[in-house]
Structures are given as C-alpha cells and as structure tokens.
C-alpha cells in the first residue's frame, strides 16, 4: 500500500511530466490559452494514460523484455525483443486512442463533445509515449502499480496545464515586453513554475525513518540474491574446469 | 549553391531563422529541453533528428499517393518508429553511455511534433526531392536551437564544452576559477532550459519585429 501512495505522489509532484521531464510540451503550449480547453485536454490525457500504460506494461512483461517469451515454452526463453518496444508501444497507443474515440462517441456523446476533438491530438502527444517508456525504464513492478503510474502522471500533467492556462488568462491584462508576448513569456513562466515544483523534491527524501526503511529493505534481498547468483556461477565454472 | 534553385534554397534556409520549428512553429519542444544539459547530447540528438526527418520525409513523399488518408497517422507513426529503432540500435552499438544518458528521449523522437508536422504539412503534398530538402532544413533549424541551448547550459553549468574544461579546473583553481569564478549548477537543472529558450525567443523577436505575437 505504502509503495502505491509513494508512487502516486512522486509521479504527480516530484517527477511531474511537464516540469521535470518536459513531456507533452507541444500540446501544453498550444492548448493552454483557455482554461476550459485545457481541462478537456488534461482529462483526455489522464484517461488515455490510464489505459495505455497498463496495456504496454503487459506487452513489456509478456512479449518484449529479455526472456519474457518463456511462457511459450523453454525454447523461447532466450529471445529479447525489447528493440521492438517503440513500434509496439506506439501502435498500441494509436489503436487505443482510435478505439477510445469510437467507444466514447457511441456511449457518451456529451463526453465526446468535450473530449473528442482532443483525442486525435493525443496519439502523437509525447506525454503518452513517454509514460509508457518511463514505465519500462523505471521497471515498474506490478500491473496495479503501472495503472497507478498512468493515472498519477496524467494528473500531474493535468495540474500543470490547468495552472499555466489560468496564468495565461490573467496575463492578458499585464504589460509584457512586446517580443516576449505569447510564446516567450509562457516559456519563462513554465520555467519559474518548474523551479517551484523542484521544492517538492524533499517530500520523499526528507520524510520520517519509516519511509527511508522501505527502499533499503527492498534493495537488501536483491543484493543478497545477486551475490548468491554470482557465487553459484563461480562455483559452477570451477566445477566445470575440474571436470 | 548552383545545385539548388532559389525556391529550394528557401526550403532549407527559412526554418533556420524566421520559420524556426522551435521558436516560431512551437514544435518538438519536449526533447529540445530535456537533453540539452550537455552539448554532446544535443549534437547527437540533432543528428538523429536530421536523419529521421530527412529519410522519413522522402519515404512518406514517395508513398503519398497510395496512403489512404484515414489511416495516414498510423502509417506515418510506423515509418518514424522504424527509423527511430535504427537510430536507437546504432546509438546502443557505438555510443552506449550516451544512449543511456538520452534514455527514453531517443524513443520520443517518434512523437516529436516536428516530424509528424512536416509529414502532414509538407511531405504529403510534395515530391521526394523537395520533401528531403524541407526535412533537412527543419531538422537543421531544430538542431541549431538545441546546440545553442546546449552550449550555454554546459558552459555556464559545468564550465566545460564537449567535456573539455574550457574555463580551467574548478578543483585545482586554474583559469577563470583562480579569480573566484563559480559554476552555476542551476543551469544544469531542467527549469533553466525553459528559461534559456524563452530568452532565445526574446532575442529573436526583438531583432525581427514581424514575429511579435499579439498576446
């Protein structure tokens, strides 16, 4: 449970998609002129991330990673298809987005009217593919955690676009230097917001001892296991040489 | 440039300044910001995008008459994804540490909006040669900004360029450090990338008033 809570807050505040890794900046800058449209796009991003990250987690676990195909039989255990992950992930995302669009249009026309125009945009939003790729490179452990990661990083993105849209609506009444108007000032405000978000960085590292204890406890057995594996291989090679 | 006609030259030169993909068209920001803490990574990223966009534009332009318009996005994504896999595998084979540093951002070239944007706006309606020039031009425009940002962030942030200590050694106190100069570690953090790009936009738009937005 604790790891779920930790991942949730970590993906929203510390590893915020916009402010820490710059994912989905293009639509973030292009669709943040009004709060209402920003809310629509943000909701669509949460939704699509919540669907595609767990799906791609399954693909990664059972098809792509080193030795993942061993459920087909021992002769498949050596295959490492991870070089195919880009093409499979993006294909999943593009199809899922199409599918979601069709389903939403059929069952909830009102939701479709508010989300619909943004869905095609999302297929090529780096936040979505980035979510799946970070899920892969950060080695998320279970399907539940992958789902959690998808939703919470979506919420982080939603918060970011909502905040910048609200600021941009207000800044229309201020006297910004002419060459900075529009894009330039948005960049600089986002930079300042990112500095603000950096202060969340202490949230998990500066916590009480209990939180510190969990990662150590997680690491310790793996180190032991590694030592065991190394020792076993050494013994095995020695035995072979003696034979 | 006897090889290229006036129109073709425009295709390459326009995106370098007044129609720059990053500062004017607002495309491809994500990767531009995330990997520019070092000059070397910026250069590698720029070269990768030049490769992907140049070849991808030609491929899409050759297929433009046989792609049904309803599924064109998926076809485009597959073409880009294939090219990006090639780039990723080459980087892993010949520059492993660098490819670890770039981490997911090589993969994110797929969703780099410059690429899809140029496919949609140019390659679907023009011949292969012109598409090739357009692709190279836009990728160069992207690369120029990347290299400028990378140059300043690495120089001011860690006092090096391409890993060479151009400002002297901060520990042995040689060069500039003798006079009390300090590296600004803040330049290496992500927010400064945004602010540096903001400043580039400021400089560019003050020099060319026609680019100023209304609000």
Query: Which ipTM score applies to this complex?
Result: 0.79
Q: Which residue is listed with tokens 């450090």?
A: B177
CB B34 within 8 A of CB B158: no
Choose among A171, A180, A192: nearest CA to B199.
A180
**Which of A179, A180, A190, A197 should one mutate to test binding to chain B, selecting the residue with the greatest count of B CBs within 10 A?**
A179
Residue A116: the pLDDT is 60
Mutate to test the interface with A, among B202, B208, B209, B210 (most CBs of A within 10 A): B202
Question: Cβ of B190 and A23 within 8 Å?
Answer: no
**How does the average pLDDT of chain B come out, rounded?**
80
Q: What is the pLDDT of residue A155?
A: 92
Say yes or no for a CB contact (<8 Å) between A123 and B89: no
Give the nearest partner residue to B85 out of A83, A176, A182, using CB atoms.
Answer: A83
Least Cα separation, residue B170 to chain A (angstroms): 26
Q: Are A108 and A100 in contact (CB under 8 A)?
A: no
- The owner of tokens 């389903």 is A103
- Mean pLDDT per segment of 10 residues, for chain A of length 243 residues? 84 84 80 81 85 88 78 76 81 82 78 68 78 83 88 91 89 82 84 85 58 44 58 67 58
Distances (CA, A) of A79 to A64, A67, A72, A137, A142: 9, 6, 11, 19, 22
Q: Select from A20, A26, A137 the Cβ nearest to the Cβ of B103.
A: A137
Per the CB < 8 A criterion, the answer to whether A10 and A200 are in contact is: no
Alpha-carbon torsion, ordered B171, B173, B179, B181, to 10 deg = -20
Helix B6-13 and helix B128-158: axis angle, to 10°? 30
Query: What are the pLDDT digits (tens) for B68-93?
Result: 877 777 788 888 888 888 888 888 88
- How confident is the model at residue A86, as a pLDDT? 81
CA gyration radius, chain B: 19
Residues of B in contact with A84 (CB under 8 A): 85
Q: Is the predicted pLDDT of residue B175 greater than 60, yes or no?
A: yes
DSSP chain A: -HHHHHHHHIIIIIT-TTTTT-TTHHHHHHS-SSHHHHHHHHHHHHHHHHHHHHHHHHHIIIIISTTGGGGG-GGGTT---GGGHHHHHHHHHHHHHHHHHHHHHHH-HHHHHHHGGGHHHHHT-HHHHHHHHHHHHTT--SHHHHHHHHHHHHHHHHHHHHHHHHHHHHHTTS---GGGTTHHHHHHHHHHHHHHHHGGGHHHHTS-HHHHHHHHHHHHHHHHHHHHHHHHHHHHHHHHHH-
Neighbour tally for B4: CB within 10 Å: 14
In this structure, the number of other CB atoms found within 10 A of the CB of residue B162 comes to 12
Distance CA A16, CA A45 (A): 14
> What pLDDT digit, counting tens, does each position of B15-58 carry?
777 777 777 777 777 777 777 778 888 888 888 888 988 898 88
| Whether the predicted pLDDT of B136 surpasses 80 | yes
Both tokens of A70, joined, read: 């061993």
Q: What is the pLDDT of residue B80?
A: 86
Q: Give the pLDDT score at B93.
A: 87
CA distances from B44 to A130, B97, B193 (A): 20, 12, 17
Nearest-angstrom CA–CA distance, B164 and A34: 46
Q: Which residues of A touch B73 (CB under 8 A)?
A: 94, 120, 123-124
Residues A6 and A152 sit within 8 Å (Cβ to Cβ): no
Whether residue B201 has pLDDT greater than 60? yes
- Provide long-range contacts, Cβ within 8 A and 24+ apart, for A175-179: A176/B215, A177/B202, A178/B205, A178/B209, A178/B212, A179/B201, A179/B202, A179/B203, A179/B204, A179/B205, A179/B206, A179/B209, A179/B212
């Amino acid at each position: 449970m604790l790891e779920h809570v930790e991942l949730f807050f970590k993906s929203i505040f510390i590893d915020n998609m916009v402010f820490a890794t710059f994912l989905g900046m293009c639509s973030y800058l292009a669709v943040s002129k009004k709060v209402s449209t920003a809310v629509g796009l943000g909701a669509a991003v949460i939704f699509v991330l919540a669907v595609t990250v767990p799906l791609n987690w399954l693909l990664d676990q059972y098809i792509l990673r080193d030795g993942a195909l061993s459920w087909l039989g021992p002769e498949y255990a050596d295959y490492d298809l991870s070089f195919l992950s880009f093409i499979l992930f993006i294909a999943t995302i593009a199809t899922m987005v199409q599918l979601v669009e069709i389903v939403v249009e059929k069952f909830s026309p009102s939701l479709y009217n508010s989300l619909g125009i943004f869905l095609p945009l999302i297929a090529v939003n780096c936040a979505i593919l980035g979510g799946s790729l970070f899920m892969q490179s950060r080695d998320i452990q279970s399907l539940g955690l992958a789902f959690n990661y998808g939703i919470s990083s979506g919420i982080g993105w939603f918060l970011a676009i909502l905040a910048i849209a609200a600021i941009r609506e207000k800044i229309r009444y201020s006297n910004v230097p002419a060459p900075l108007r529009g894009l330039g000032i948005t960049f600089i405000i986002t930079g300042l917001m990112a500095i603000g978000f950096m202060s969340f960085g202490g949230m998990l590292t500066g916590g009480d001892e209990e939180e510190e204890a969990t990662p150590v406890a997680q690491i310790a057995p793996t180190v032991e296991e590694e030592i065991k594996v190394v020792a076993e291989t050494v013994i095995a090679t020695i035995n072979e040489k003696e034979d | 440039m006897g090889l290229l006609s006036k129109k073709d030259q425009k295709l390459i030169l326009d995106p370098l300044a007044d129609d720059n993909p990053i500062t004017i068209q607002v495309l491809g920001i994500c990767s531009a910001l995330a990997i520019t803490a070092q000059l070397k990574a910026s250069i590698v990223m720029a070269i990768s995008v030049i490769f992907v966009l140049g070849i991808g534009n030609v491929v899409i332009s050759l297929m433009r008459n046989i792609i049904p318009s309803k599924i064109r996005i998926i076809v485009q994504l597959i073409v880009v994804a294939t090219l990006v896999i090639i780039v990723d595998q080459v980087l892993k084979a010949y520059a492993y540490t660098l490819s670890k540093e770039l981490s997911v951002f090589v993969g994110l070239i797929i969703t780099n909006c410059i690429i899809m944007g140029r496919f949609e706006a140019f390659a679907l309606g023009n011949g292969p040669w012109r598409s090739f020039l357009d692709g190279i031009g836009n990728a160069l425009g992207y690369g120029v900004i990347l290299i400028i940002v990378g140059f300043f962030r690495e120089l001011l942030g860690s006092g090096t360029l391409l890993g060479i200590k151009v400002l002297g050694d901060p520990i042995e106190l040689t060069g500039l450090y003798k006079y009390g100069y300090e590296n600004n570690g803040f330049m290496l953090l992500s927010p400064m990338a945004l602010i540096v790009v903001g400043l580039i936009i400021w400089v560019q738009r003050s020099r060319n008033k026609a680019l100023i937005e209304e609000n």
